[in-house]
Structure 1
Amino acid sequence: MCETNHNHNIKLDKNGNCNTDEHKTWNRRSFLQALGLVGGGSMMLANTPLSVSRPSPLSIALSQSTNENILVLVRLQGGNDGFNTIIPVYDYDVYANARPLIRIPPSEFINLSDDYAMPKPMNKLESVWGEGQMKVVHGVGYENSSLSHFKGSDIYANTNLQEDDRTGFMGRYFGEIYPDYFFNPPPSPPSLQIGSIGNLIFKGPESDYSFAVSDPRRLLQIIENETFYNLDGVDENCTYGEKLRFLREATNTTFDYAEVISAAYERSPEYTDSSYQDDSLGRQFRIISRLIRGGLGTKVYLVTLGGFDTHNNQIQRHQQLLTSFSEAVSTFYKDLAADQSEDWAGRVLTMTMSEFGRRFRENGSLGTDHGTAAPTMFFGPALNGSGFVGEHPDLNNLTRGGNVTNTVDFRQVYATVMKDWLCVDEGLVGRSLLDTDGGPFESLDLGFNCSGTTSNIPSDGESLSHIPTYSDSQTFINIVTPQTTHIDVSLYNIVGQKVATLANEMLMEGVNMVINVKDSANTRLSTGPYVYQIKTNNGDYSKSIIIS
């Protein structure tokens, strides 16, 4: 068998041959996992932990949405108390009786309407509301809400109410439109998270979509020195040579990627950076603002503010958290608006999420226990006016445990954002949210829609069907089109290089085309994962396959 020494030089066997049949079932994904290059991890940027997920340039070219909208998810970790965040003034007596020691008194109100108010610690958002850039969705949750931090967080990430699921709704979305996500990291990431590592939201069925770097100091050193692994002299006819090239290419991509993030951060001008609070959330938003204005191109960001598990001493703790939250969001949009080179603020929508709300009634420790529904807050000029969406939970109709009943399914909130802000096809939204109840989820009126904006992602309607199948060590692609079209099927390797044209011909309506990948390629294909691309008159399609 072939061996490699510590300098990565390839050695032949005693007969001078390289055994290409050794380890025929070698899997590149497993190989990287075994070496610790894939999985949860982080790099450091401005002294803040940062982890990333990204697809390939090929997939971006195939599937990227034509709009430039950006979504920022703000995770209020621990279970935010919605009743002391958006105060039900319309039923204040009931509210005050349920919370005699932790209620917000009228003297501390920031009135949003005749029916609702915010507490004064959120005063930085008063101007945001006045400028028509804030909306509140009432009573967001789900039936039979879990009161567990871990389970609740998982459900809000994976949207699966029936069973444990280790994939997230954004991960399933990325996994479907970016089938070669793992194999070809791109120049800019579609999702990025700061303040927490490897959130389940971005975990797909085949990859966790978080790029891991074991030593951030080493990564920064590589960026500064511009040092990359040399690919010359690697014998790809040897199985180990193929592995070695893949490892070096993957590592070089890591260096390239970190350089792209740092470049975006450094080229963005500083405007109101100095006015961010020097706390965790302020630092996170400051980094995001610079990456957005630096043209990184990321579509989805996730930031986290912890500490909302307020079982005791809630008044002081919650007020501090709400102050940090309102300061960060307000400064963030001022920062984006200060850069007048583009309408950055108009392209960014921010929304909150938390694993659950708190019980309506206070406990005996000047706090609140784990509850059910809570409001979801949205921010940004794209909302086209401030206001409230949905029905507030009935405060006079509590469950046996003292909780309110949700009035808006959290998946409906996700579906609205995906369909009407990120402009994702409705069928793909349903699949990403595991909609098995006969959906789709009806959109909420948040003030924006995707009219005039389209996505290149094929819809569920009369679209081409393509299914990979495996039999007797052979790989097949079964293709059926609902209408006659010219079809061009190409095969790409793990580094995005085109290795073969599998078909280039007219395909008649309703005819089942079966492609034997090995026979059609007319070239030697190594064992492992590939991606095929189908180009038609009506759209492009792609999916990953395995050659055994």
Structure 2
Amino acid sequence: MKKQYTQSKTAFDKQTEKGCNPDDHKKWSRRSFLQTLGLAGGGSMMLANTPISVSRPSPLSVALNSVENDKILIICRLSGGNDGFNTIIPVYDYDTYANARPLIKIPPSEFITLNDDFAMAKSMNKLERLWGDGQMKVVHGVGYEDSSLSHFHGSDIWANTNLTEEDRTGWLGRYFQELYPDYIFNPPTSPPSIQIGSIGNLIFKGPENDFSFAVSDPRRLLQIAENGTSYGLDTLPDCTHGQQVKYLREVTNTTFTYADVISQAYENSTDFGGYLEDSLGRQLSIIARLIKGGLGTKVYMVTLGGFDTHSGQITRHQTLMNSFSEAVSTFYQDLQAAGWDDKVLTMTISEFGRRFKENGSLGTDHGTAAAAMFFGTGLQGSGFVGEHPDLSDLTRGGNVYNTNDFRQVYATVMQEWLCIPKDMVSQALLGTSFESLDLGFNCSGSIDPIDGEAIGHTVTYRNNQTYIHITTPSTAHTDITLYNIIGQKVATLRNEVLFEGSHEIDVKETAQTRLSTGQYVYRIETNGASYSRSLLIS
């Protein structure tokens, strides 16, 4: 039983004891109060001397936590604008590259050859093993048309995916707000998303709430996690002031709850060893422990800063990429030793690339497109995706044109890695749809092996109806159950022998019970195996 916190009364608490303010009659809502104070439904804590911010979850994330899809996404933010040309070197047009960068080019003697057309610098040598083991892919020329050259605006666009208007919401935050509005009062057992190393990124902000708030004293937070202490809610007066205090305490209790489960997961695992004692190494070391400890979080974001290389780029950039390659390589050794390497996908993002030509300060100025890197056994082989920008076709400012839209990268990861339905992906990307890139993984049909054969299952939406399509390789008894986002069984859709072939299930009609609009999860059990996926009821 949790202890109730009663010590150190605040001014708010002392005023409450005197009763409610007689002028306390204005219209007030939790939403407006949250906006006024800049609070939100997540929290932050310190773990291993590194700040961790807990982001507000969506029912989509909760649904993913509830199924057998144990895939995890790591977003690695290279803050400042990473130079893609000195990261992935265009060997196929080296003369053009070298002429544009006579003083900061990577010479052939410093190449790690990836194939006949591309190389990376020896400062990234720790990634050579991942490339050789089929655990690295590169998407060329990632960006967007009319790229912003501002750090702040560029970062916002990569977070909110809105190319035409100022938008203070993020692509994950829109999921959170739309699909799970009551999180603070009914939180899931583990945080579906965590950002570590930096807090408050726009990616996690919804249209109504800022999705992060901080607990300033990590010692207090760890004490809460260890002792199960929480703030009492029963003695507050029934008035606006009391509601405000209650809301703040509920928010705080949620943070304490997550501090508890995060700490438990951290303590359930052990250090792998081998990480450098630098920023990204510490971040990924902590994430590895949380993953191995069974936390259940689906999305993490880490940050490595310092990529605004206007001057002295050679040493600065190579030092950063050495840190990056060391951390990522050790991270996947850690995961591989624990059997998690095929379940964790890492992708890089940066607010923009660097200008193709060097400047007069041995550096590069703000540019447009750059390579995005992916890591993990789930990639099913190393390689390159898309066309490299034409180095002879530059904008007036001397920048290359992007060849892959960053939103298409997001859409691919959401649809094909996290297995999010395509229409929900489009909704998160402000109504825009994108075809998936070939990154080596695919959720279409969700083909899974059963005794050497395969069962296929997918979801479609027609005329406001939701359908599950199943392809069975042989006749077998099949049990299909529907669950809501908190894991409660709501209907049995099939409990019978299904013959070999294709089957379609109208979910709402078959459930024979009223299904509210929202997110659900179905589970198929047959031949001793089970398969799950989320779906949407409209």
TM-score (norm 2): 0.79
CA displacement 1:10-65 (0-9 Å, x = unmatched): 6668xxxx99x964733123345556753896321111111111337898369966
Q: 1:406 aligns with which of 402, 407, 420?
A: 402
Which residue of structure 1 aligns with residue 327 of structure 2?
A: 328
Identify unmatched segments of 5+ residues in structure 2: 1-10, 448-456, 467-483, 489-507, 510-515, 524-533
Cα contact 1:336–1:345 (8 A) shared by 2: yes
Q: 1:74 aligns with which of 57, 73, 76?
A: 76
Match of 2:73, SS state, is strand
Please state how far the C-alpha of 1:461 moved relative to its aligned partner: 3.5
1:147–1:533 Cα change, 3 Å: closer
Identify unmatched segments of 5+ residues in structure 1: 466-489, 491-495, 499-507, 510-530, 544-548
Which residue of structure 1 aligns with residue 131 of structure 2?
A: 129
Please state how far the C-alpha of 1:412 moved relative to its aligned partner: 0.6
Structure 2 CA distance for aligned equivalents of residues 302 and 81 of structure 1: 20
| 1:282 and 2:281 matched | yes
1:457–1:151 Cα change, 3 Å: farther
Q: 1:381 aligns with which of 377, 382, 405?
A: 377
1:370–1:79 Cα change, 3 Å: same
- What is the aligned length? 471
After TM superposition, which residue ranges in structure 1, 4 or more long, deviate above 6 angstroms? 56-59, 456-459, 531-543
CA displacement 1:296-329 (0-9 Å, x = unmatched): 1111111001111111111000100000000000
1:241–1:540 Cα change, 3 Å: farther
RMSD: 3.7
The AA in structure 2 aligned to 1:384 is Q
Alignment of 1:388-403 (within 5 A): 388-403=384-399
CA displacement 1:109-160 (0-9 Å, x = unmatched): 0000011001000000001000000000001111111111111111111110
Cα contact 1:234–1:245 (8 A) shared by 2: yes
Please state how far the C-alpha of 1:179 moved relative to its aligned partner: 3.0
Alignment of 1:471-490 (within 5 A): none
Match of 1:309, SS state, is coil
Q: Percent identity?
A: 68
Cα contact 1:261–1:291 (8 A) shared by 2: yes
Which residue of structure 1 aligns with residue 231 of structure 2?
A: 229
Q: 1:198 aligns with which of 197, 200, 212?
A: 200
Cα contact 1:98–1:360 (8 A) shared by 2: yes
Cα contact 1:426–1:459 (8 A) shared by 2: no
Alignment of 1:256-295 (within 5 A): 256-271=257-272, 273=273, 275-295=274-294
Structure 1 CA distance for aligned equivalents of residues 32 and 150 of structure 2: 33
1:120–1:229 Cα change, 3 Å: same
1:250–1:403 Cα change, 3 Å: closer
The AA in structure 2 aligned to 1:160 is N
Q: 1:157 aligns with which of 137, 159, 176?
A: 159
1:450–1:23 Cα change, 3 Å: farther
1:223–1:365 Cα change, 3 Å: same
CA displacement 1:81-103 (0-9 Å, x = unmatched): 11110000011111111111111
| 1:219 and 2:215 matched | no
Structure 1 CA distance for aligned equivalents of residues 427 and 257 of structure 2: 33
1:207–1:385 Cα change, 3 Å: same
1:227–1:91 Cα change, 3 Å: same
Cα contact 2:127–2:325 (8 A) shared by 1: yes
Match of 1:362, SS state, is coil
Structure 2 CA distance for aligned equivalents of residues 277 and 419 of structure 1: 34
Q: 1:60 aligns with which of 56, 59, 62?
A: 62
1:463–1:216 Cα change, 3 Å: farther
CA displacement 1:329-383 (0-9 Å, x = unmatched): 00000011112xxx31111000000111111111111111111110000000000
Q: 1:370 aligns with which of 361, 366, 369?
A: 366
| 1:299 and 2:298 matched | yes
Structure 1 CA distance for aligned equivalents of residues 61 and 25 of structure 2: 29
CA displacement 1:235-292 (0-9 Å, x = unmatched): 66x6655555444433322222111111111111222x3x101100100100110111
Which residue of structure 2 aligns with residue 504 of structure 1?
A: none
Structure 2 CA distance for aligned equivalents of residues 158 and 390 of structure 1: 24
Cα contact 1:179–1:542 (8 A) shared by 2: no
Structure 1 CA distance for aligned equivalents of residues 198 and 211 of structure 2: 14
1:58–1:328 Cα change, 3 Å: closer
Cα contact 1:63–1:178 (8 A) shared by 2: no
Which residue of structure 1 aligns with residue 13 of structure 2?
A: 6
Cα contact 1:195–1:304 (8 A) shared by 2: yes
1:166–1:101 Cα change, 3 Å: same
Please state how far the C-alpha of 1:431 moved relative to its aligned partner: 1.4
Structure 2 CA distance for aligned equivalents of residues 433 and 536 of structure 1: 22
Please state how far the C-alpha of 1:177 moved relative to its aligned partner: 2.6
